Amino acid sequence: MRKTSILFIAGIVIVLALGFLLPWTVRNPFYFFVGYVVLQYVTIATGWNILGGYAGYINFGAAGFFGAGVYLSAFLFTTFGLPLPLCILAAAVFGAVLGLLMGYLTLRIQGVYFAIATLGLVVVLETIVHNISALGGASGMAVYGPRPPAWSPGPSQYNFTIMLVIAVAAVSLARFVEISWIGRGLRAVRASEDAAECSGVPTLRLKLLACALSGAVLAMAGAPYPFYTSFVEPVTAFSLIIGLNAIAMPLIGGTKSWAGPVLGALLLASVQQIATVTISSELNILFVGLVLIAFVAFAPGGLSDLFGRRQGRAKS
Amino acid sequence: MISIDILLNAVVTGILLGSVYASLALGLAITFGILHIPNIAHPTLVVAGAFFVYTLSQWGLDPIVAALIGLVPFYILGVALYIFYSRVFERRGGANVLQSLTLFFGLSLVIEILLALGFGSELKSVSVSYIGSSLKLGLLTIPYRLLIPALLGPVMIGAVWLYLSRTNSGTAIRAVAHEERALSIAGLNPASVKRHAFGIATATAVVAGAALIMVGPVEPFAGRFQIGRVFAIVVLAGMGSIPGSLAIAVIIGIAEALVSSYLNPSWSPGVAFAILLLGLALRPQGLFGAAR
């Protein structure tokens, strides 16, 4: 355990150092523009997996949490001029409260109801945003992002670095949850909720905690989005593809460990970024939907499970 | 200031809308309520049904006739879906609810995108002679485009309910969810009973689709806005209670109509969901019938 933790921390330091240095060596801002989206999905997939993977409670409303983060940070920035880190923090707190609320209302019953309720969450949040004129309603609102600081060469690179820090924080949180007592409890919940409850695992409190953490990470992933696009509107903030990717990426990568969602997100988001340049966004959704069905149907353990099994077979 | 004619019109519109919602939810009341398969693709199947009706109406067919023709292909589609579903999960010994949710989620997206690619993402509507005009009864004004689909709902729900409660094969469907082994001991194949039930559930989608496209124009992603409604109806009715689903649907319809006439029409998509959340928090076993 100690050895892997040291390796993990070393990996983080290298990734962060690269993130701060690359903007000065790679000149083309397009790579950072694309990299931002990939990192955003790494964060979303990781956040989703805290609840969906470890506890086995499926959240179809990732786009709702994401959109809530987008709008909260856009609102705080344009009306109060709050600095970016505070906007991100506020989004995280808001996402946690939202997750707690959803969980409190539905988690006491059964996983199915939670999943169904999250499906409605997106519609409700979108309805609310449509009806609040301070948030721009259906026509959206323009956001002029902060000037990039001296240590970053341009806005694309700055957003990329911010997103990288968020993604690293999310992955570290997920890994902490996984190896601590929280993860053990959640795995027990996933294996058999009744058995866990009988052996004294505080199942409801653990599930609520997972809901809150997952909601916080998902909302945090949305917080820098207004500055990335300079414009927010309900349709893109609560986009279908976000909710779909949030489920598809961990399922493709593997839901048991933090590495699964990261792998799935890096793979799928990169493919999508290449694909949207060449094909339409509709075909993009079709592709992800088919891949999702294929994995649920034929490889429920995801890629990491497939590789693991092959290695196991090779050894024996 | 509440004027009586606005209130009366809102309530009547709500009852009629609720009747349409009940036909949207009927298929789910069978798959989720009775068979316990969380088919979140059902609203999308209804939209697919609406597009089927739209296609036939382009050739001059009446939407209701088109829906009746659609019953057969949609029944077959439902059977095929169930075969796929059971093949996928039987090998693993029983379906995990969350995995089947994900499967149907992916399926509904694929259907939506195929519809969008095939028909374009614009709104589509049907035009029939009786759709433009309204029925006037004293203070009430009821447009036929709402009245006729609303009458379609109770007819279909009554037929399915009679089938489930009065015939032998209907009883088998209700039995299969309770005790699969007893059914096979009695000499019936549970798998074929479930296939049949799923086929019927999917066949109701084309009639519901006809109702939906008569009420108003439909676009490929319209199913998303129905998910909250149909699940609210099925869950609050108390899983599997079909008369109960009609009652709940009417309550939701009235609530939505009141919200859109007194508050703002743009708030109404959230109403059903709010009712569902409240219902789950206060009375998880449903308002009608026993929980299982």
- Hey, where are the domains in chain A? 49-238, 239-316
Distance (Å) from the C-alpha of residue B83 to the closest C-alpha of chain A? 13
**pLDDT score of B131:** 67
Residue of A nearest to B229 (CA): A120
Read off the pLDDT of residues A243-293 as tens digits, 9 standing for 90 and up. Answer: 888 888 888 888 888 888 999 899 888 887 777 666 677 777 788 888 888
- Contact present, A247 and A214 (Cβ < 8 Å): no
Of A110, A123, A99, the residue nearest B286 (C-alpha):
A110
Rounded Cα distance between B44 and B205, Å, is 9
DSSP H or E run through A142: strand A141-142
A292/B116 touch (CB, cutoff 8 Å), yes or no:
no
Q: Is 70 exceeded by the pLDDT of residue A152?
A: yes
User: Which residues of B are less than 8 Å from A289 in CB distance?
Assistant: 106-107, 109-110, 113
Q: Rounded to 5 degrees, what are φ and ψ at B136?
A: -110, 125
For helices A111-131 and B97-119, the axis angle rounded to 10 degrees is 40
**pLDDT score of B202:** 95
Could you tell me the pLDDT band of residue B153, with boundaries at 50, 70 and 90?
A: confident
Percentage of the residues of chain A whose pLDDT score is greater than 70: 94
- Spatial neighbors of B205 by CB under 8 A, at least 6 apart, are B27, B42, B45, B46, B48, B49, B74
How confident is the model over A198-226, as a mean pLDDT? 90
Q: Is 50 exceeded by the pLDDT of residue B291?
A: no
Using the Cβ of B63 and the Cβ atoms of chain A, whether some distance falls under 8 Å is answered with no
- 3-state SS of B133-190? CEEEECCEEEEHHHHHHHHHHHHHHHHHHHHHHHCHHHHHHHHHHHCHHHHHHCCCCH
B267/A131 touch (CB, cutoff 8 Å), yes or no:
yes
Q: Report the DSSP beta bridge partners of residue B124.
A: B218
Q: Who among B38, B101, B269 is closest to A123 (CB)?
A: B269
Rounded Cα distance between A82 and B255, Å, is 40
Of A260, A269, A36, the residue nearest A145 (C-alpha):
A36
Overall residue count recorded for chain A in this entry: 316
Read off the pLDDT of residues B168-188 as tens digits, 9 standing for 90 and up. Answer: 888 888 888 777 788 888 888
For B289, the 3-state DSSP assignment is: coil
Q: Radius of gyration over alpha carbons of chain B, in Å?
A: 19
Q: Is 50 exceeded by the pLDDT of residue A316?
A: no
The third-level CATH classification (topology) of the domain covering B4-282 is ABC transporter involved in vitamin B12 uptake, BtuC (1.10.3470)
Distance (Å) from the C-alpha of residue B229 to the closest C-alpha of chain A? 9
Q: The tokens of B75 are what?
A: 């029944």
Read off the pLDDT of residues B226-253 as tens digits, 9 standing for 90 and up. Answer: 887 888 888 888 767 888 888 889 999 9
Using the Cβ of A269 and the Cβ atoms of chain B, whether some distance falls under 8 Å is answered with no
Rounded Cα distance between B42 and B227, Å, is 8
Which residues, numbered 228 to 267 in chain A, qualify as contacts with chain B under a Cβ-Cβ cut-off of 8 Å? Answer: 240, 244, 247-248, 251
> Which of A60, A101, A110, A124 is the best substitution to test chain B (most B C-beta atoms within 10 A)?
A124
User: What is the value of pTM for the model shown?
Assistant: 0.82
Could you tell me the pLDDT band of residue B140, with boundaries at 50, 70 and 90?
A: confident
Using the Cβ of B265 and the Cβ atoms of chain A, whether some distance falls under 8 Å is answered with no
- Contact present, A125 and A219 (Cβ < 8 Å): no
User: Which residues of A are less than 8 Å from B264 in CB distance?
Assistant: 131
Q: The tokens of B272 are what?
A: 């059903």
Read off the pLDDT of residues B59-97 as tens digits, 9 standing for 90 and up. Answer: 888 888 889 999 999 999 999 999 988 888 766 655 577
Does the ipTM exceed 0.85?
A: no
**pLDDT score of A43:** 95
For A35, the 3-state DSSP assignment is: helix
- Hey, where are the domains in chain B? 4-282
- Spatial neighbors of B87 by CB under 8 A, at least 6 apart, are none
Using the Cβ of B8 and the Cβ atoms of chain A, whether some distance falls under 8 Å is answered with no
DSSP structure class, residue B265? G
Using the Cβ of B135 and the Cβ atoms of chain A, whether some distance falls under 8 Å is answered with no
